[in-house]
Structure 1
Amino acid sequence: MTNDEDKSSESSAQDVIVAFLGSIEPGIKRIDTHASIVFLGAERVWKIKRAVRLPFLDYSSLEKRRAACEAELDVNKSFAPDLYRRVVPITDGLDGLAVDGQGTPVEWAVEMKRFDETAGLDRIAATVGIAPALAEEVADAILASHHRSKAADGAAWLASIGTLIARNTARFREVNGLERQAVEKLHSSSLAALDAQRPCLERRAAEGFVRRCHGDLHLGNITMIDGKPVLFDAIEFDPAIATTDVLYDLSFVLMDMLHHEQRTAANVSFNRYLARSAPFHFDALALFPLFLSIRAAIRAHVLFMKAEQNDSDRQVGDEAGKYFELAVQLINPPPGGLVAVGGMSGTGKSVLARAVAPFLGPAPGAVVIRSDVVRKAMFDVPEHHRLPESAYAPRVTQRVYDALMTQAHGVASQDHCVVIDAAFLRPEERRAFAGVEPASSVHLGLFLRADLNVRLARIAGRHNDASDATATVAHMQEGHDSGNMDWPVIDAGGTPEATRAKVMPFLAPLIAQCACDP
């Protein structure tokens, strides 16, 4: 019997089991992926592996599928221990097929606790959108998973990147309707980026940032349980595929947020992860175009394959095409630059910085550096801890601005975009910003103004904020002479949306269009 005949026999035998599982409970729901079939019961979920052999996995025999189920249970217990229960046999005995019966095992399934599939982040993104607070929690969950994982030898990961690119390209060359020039451009640009970033990749591997990660963090593999995002369905079929740079793991969810038109959420998660893991990843920002693009290409690859398995589902093929377009765009990022948002306390600097950052420079948007946070870090206290008045002495403030400019240089020198959120009340502070290298990058300063009563109301309404500004500080600033103001002055006394609309024309040179834009 040939390998093709073996495969056909396995698939035919599995068809009977699939029909059985689809009828074991009234109202059971079936979900198909390229590698698995999932059955959603009232309280339990059964997931079997398809009898397939693909370029990156092999479930072609019963024993291989059993091993894959056991590996899935083992891997995902660390991500979602309350979801994953056990591996159970589908048996064939005197009374026919049964789940965990007395007969001979003819298939294996992962048994999980049933959860609300409408609570997946892909569904949330498509309905109400991913709020900034949730985006921060997602970043925290991913970072926690990376902290739990030990450093691994990075040699296999480094060697695999070129293979990933080649495998994606091979698939795209076979897809009818894809523009061949775009496929080849994606291929050559990806290889060029890999070559350019190899020293950074090698350094990070040596520093311990290659770890066993989740490996498949698209939004459909993150769900809300008890009000918290939970990662599940991590890659089990090949530990090597999931053993990568942690930023490559993060890039999957950031890319998928972009695909789902959640640019703000992507930028919030990006900044949250960087801030909570500082200072370890600020020197690796140049990796994101490559990482994000490969992740989009992999998603396109998988969905094109799924579309082939069910050629009547045109929606899957269309979705794959959108991921491909995103991959092409992400590998050719726009230039970076520097933006400074200044103004007295209560003018809305931080709100504006967060609002514009998602749209500036390379995806997933600008790095936001806030003076209040930098100052707290200098004193090794939490962001919301109030500092004594001595922490705001002129010599300390000078140190804060020196640190801001150093960090801004570090970001901009990687051709990424940075937004500095600080008062910039003194001419020398604004001159320092203008002098941040690289000189060839766009430098744009914006100075916000608002009436005292508006500023006081905003300061009074702050809760859990890094700023220590009080009404007394606001009154003192009223008499401050900011000297010759050579930045555009923006009336920020209205709504945040109105302020954002006023500054966007000034930011036009740095605003990046995205294939994810509606």
Structure 2
Amino acid sequence: MMDDRATQERVLHALSEQPGVKRIDTHAASVFLDGTRALKIKRAVRFAFLDYSALEKRKAACEEEIRINRPLAPQIYRRVVAITEESDGSIEIDGRGRPVDYAIEMSRFDESRTLDRLAKAGPLDVELAAAIADAITASHEKAPISDGAAWVNSIPALIDGNSAGLCNGDRLAAAAVEQLGEASHQAFLRVRLALEERARRGLVRRCHGDLHLANIALIDRHPVLFDAIEFDPQMATVDVLYDLAFTPMDLLHYDQSVAANIVLNRYLIAAPVETLDALAALPLFMSIRAAIRAQVVLARLSRHDADGPGMLDEARRYFDLSRALIHPPAPRLIAVGGLSGTGKSVLARALAPSVAPQPGAVVLRSDVIRKQLFQAGHTERLPPSTYRPEVTAQVYDVLMQRARQVLAQGHSVIVDAIFARESERDDLAVLARACGVPLHGLFLVADLATRQARIGGRQGDASDATQEVAALQEHYNIGRVGWTTIDASGTQAQTLQSGRDAIAEGK
């Protein structure tokens, strides 16, 4: 192995000496950036979780990385190339001589456009957050179903591995690490049966496995998932919700709570409805992911003491996030009602990120559920027949059922619908009492001209309401509301503040 390392050091040195080349080293790879090309060489190392010590193992790992990642990022991954030693002793890329190493040839992208760097620079916009969720959804739909029992059985060892890694180096308080481990094991016991059922349903798959923000790049304005785990199929064979959990957790780490909430809600809209029955596992999944990132940063710190204070602070923030996530607060039920054009959906989306537990409330919107019932696209206009009273009653029944599912998992929910009938509002109060959670009902009001102007300005929205529908709603007999009435005729910021104030007063 020493000879292999020595040979590789010659290779790495030779590539580093080429004009205009930028070298980036990680614990397991060296990447060389040159113009529009990037070469990634597996380092001749052996860890508990990977072994690149021999040339044939590095070649196989390069081939496997291409196989796993090209379907996710065809615009990045090109091929495996040999690094050769020529007859004169020189090192060449894809030369005629003896292969002494192998590299993954990739198209170079702007390194400043990975999502971790974008998240550091400022808030991620709504469209990008939604596109991230769509990219993850698409990857899960293609991911092959795997042995779910093995994944569920591996979780206790994963928790223990986190505890051991976090204690290494004595940089974190041992008692706090132990408490996190105990709380994680308890959380696992509470959700184990649900996870086993998900495994039987085929929701454990060969996933990306490492979806933190540095492994998602914005290329041509689209988020692209790359650098999926190739060295250990078992490590990447997980519940799809665990695969997802890495991204909202990392968004929370970068203070991107709005984007984290959008990713969760967008993903849930496309996911099977049974996913709502697994939300109780989300705090555990995100906590485990945060602990893993804390370990990675601590390991990097041990190799780069020069940036010790900054890295140690980052590791501690991941660790603190892991500890906070494993103890989610009690859920709440929030309802946002009002006639079309009052801004219900805008308010619901704005409230959701700050409604604990993290990453914010699940938003259930009647317009979206109606489209799902008729298997229509979210912006596809439905015919008037789908708005018959009996259909609307079915929509509200589904709303109540799904709200009950979410609350039963210990997660907060915001229900977004007109709620024009007293019976609909009463049903929600009954649900809150049955689930033992507080109900915060907000009913938005605005004059007809304001509502019609807003409806006229909508684009790409799930609502089918027209200005004519808004006029007809003026004749609704709303009856006794019983919720906090909010004047929504002002700005979105004013309505949001009023909503937050009303919820705070109702605690």
TM-score normalised according to structure 1 size = 0.93
Tell me the residue number matched to 1:235.
229
Selected match of 2:39 from 40, 46, 57: 46
Deviation at 1:335, TM superposition (A): 1.2
**Cα distance in 2 between the residues matched to 1:270 and 1:164:** 24
Q: Please, which runs of 5 or more residues in structure 1 have no aligned partner?
A: 1-5, 512-518
Selected match of 2:341 from 339, 346, 350: 346
How does 1:283-322 map onto structure 2 within 5 Å? 283-314=277-308, 315-322=310-317
Tell me the residue number matched to 2:102.
108
**Count of matched residue pairs:** 504
Q: Would you say the 8 A contact 1:361–1:510 is kept in 2? A: no
Tell me if 1:220 matches 2:214.
yes
Deviation at 1:67, TM superposition (A): 1.8
**Cα distance in 2 between the residues matched to 1:287 and 1:502:** 33
Selected match of 1:331 from 326, 329, 343: 326
% identical equivalent positions: 51
Tell me the residue number matched to 2:377.
382
Q: Would you say the 8 A contact 2:16–2:32 is kept in 1? A: yes
Structure 2 counterpart SS, 1:395: helix
Deviation at 1:227, TM superposition (A): 2.1
1:192-227 Cα shifts (integer Å, max 9, x gaps): 111111101111111101110001111111112222
**CA separation of 1:506/1:175 partners in 2, compared to 1, >3 Å: closer, same or farther?**
farther
1:31-69 Cα shifts (integer Å, max 9, x gaps): 222221211111210111222222211222222222211
**Cα distance in 2 between the residues matched to 1:202 and 1:312:** 45
**Cα distance in 2 between the residues matched to 1:509 and 1:146:** 41
Tell me the residue number matched to 2:22.
29
Q: Would you say the 8 A contact 2:407–2:435 is kept in 1? A: no
Structure 1, 421-430 or 277-286: larger mean CA deviation:
277-286
Selected match of 1:404 from 369, 376, 399: 399
1:10-42 Cα shifts (integer Å, max 9, x gaps): 54543332222212232x222222221211111
Selected match of 1:184 from 131, 153, 178: 178
**Cα distance in 2 between the residues matched to 1:151 and 1:177:** 39
Tell me the residue number matched to 1:91.
84
**Cα distance in 2 between the residues matched to 1:275 and 1:411:** 13
Tell me the residue number matched to 2:65.
72
CA RMSD of superposed structures (Å)? 1.8
**Cα distance in 2 between the residues matched to 1:464 and 1:71:** 40
Deviation at 1:81, TM superposition (A): 1.8
Tell me if 1:465 matches 2:465.
no
**CA separation of 1:40/1:507 partners in 2, compared to 1, >3 Å: closer, same or farther?**
farther
Residue type at the aligned position of 1:48: I
**Cα distance in 2 between the residues matched to 1:508 and 1:46:** 54
Tell me the residue number matched to 1:248.
242
1:304-345 Cα shifts (integer Å, max 9, x gaps): 111112222223332222111111111111111211000111
TM-score normalised according to structure 2 size = 0.95
Deviation at 1:77, TM superposition (A): 1.5
Residue type at the aligned position of 1:493: S
**CA separation of 1:510/1:357 partners in 2, compared to 1, >3 Å: closer, same or farther?**
farther
**Cα distance in 2 between the residues matched to 1:356 and 1:474:** 24
**Cα distance in 2 between the residues matched to 1:498 and 1:14:** 62
1:262-300 Cα shifts (integer Å, max 9, x gaps): 111111111111111232312111110111111111111
Residue type at the aligned position of 1:21: L
Tell me if 1:451 matches 2:444.
no
Q: Would you say the 8 A contact 2:408–2:435 is kept in 1? A: no
Structure 2 counterpart SS, 1:320: helix
**Cα distance in 2 between the residues matched to 1:97 and 1:134:** 42
Structure 1 runs of 4+ with >4 Å offset: 9-13
Structure 1 counterpart SS, 2:80: strand
Residue type at the aligned position of 1:107: D
**Cα distance in 1 between the residues matched to 2:9 and 2:190:** 48
Residue type at the aligned position of 1:29: K
Selected match of 2:253 from 259, 262, 265: 259
